[in-house]
Amino acid sequence: MMTPSSGPTGSPTAAAIPGFEGWTILNPASVAASAEDGTLVLTMTRRALWFQAQRGVLVWKPVTGDFRITATVSVTRTSDPAAALDGGGAVRLGGLMARVDAIRENYVFVVVGADADGLSVETKSTRDNASRFEGPAWPAPAADLRLCRSAATFTMLKRPAGSNGPWTVAATIERPDLPGELQVGPNIYTDGPPDLTARYSDVVLESPPTVTGCDS
């Protein structure tokens, strides 16, 4: 089991989740984590937000250099999984993230779920606590997501959940400021009451990638 980091973000908790024993949870008081038939399940227990200097939840491994992480991510309300996720205008999102363990927040990610404008696949880049994001509409609260690093270039891809079709580039972000070692893995966050559960199936983290190109 991975030893928890002693870096600037406090005291992460080693994840005692079947199939994810080598991962660490950042902000563990805000989430209940479990596994169902190999699927990582994260359920928010209190408000936690990835925006500016605020910190949501991240389940991570340390990765040095180029990597590729892929998962099928599905987001629902905890209280009623059949209810519309985007009702009420709350932010409810989960996806894949790469982050620096530092005093100021520096990261990139791609997530699926609901923002104030409805269902979307959102991409975000935060540099020294200043966040910039785009959240174009998406037809469902689920998607196949992929995040790749090639030197200073981070590429985020999306496609319908469970699809074997081609990937679409959600964003390409240049971050030459990010160091070689990052915390990489599934993230989740909400700006409202913690009525949010995200499921991450077929999580594959390759470091370095086994093939050339993010969309292969």
Contacts of 165 (CB under 8 A, 6+ apart): 159
Q: For the chain, 216 residues long, give each residue's pLDDT as a single digit of tens.
A: 223 333 566 557 777 788 898 899 999 999 999 999 999 999 999 999 999 999 999 999 999 999 999 999 999 999 999 999 998 889 999 999 999 999 999 999 999 999 989 999 999 999 999 999 999 999 999 999 999 999 999 999 999 999 999 999 999 999 999 999 999 999 999 999 999 999 999 999 999 888 888 988
Q: Note the pTM of the prediction, 2 decimals.
A: 0.93
Residue 49 identity (one-letter amino acid): L
CATH number of this structure's domain 13-206, picked from the four choices 3.20.20.140, 1.10.3470.10, 3.90.950.10, 2.60.120.200: 2.60.120.200
**Residue 32 pairs with which residues in a beta bridge?**
43
Torsion of CA 101, 106, 109, 111, to 10 degrees: 90
Q: What is the pLDDT of residue 10?
A: 52
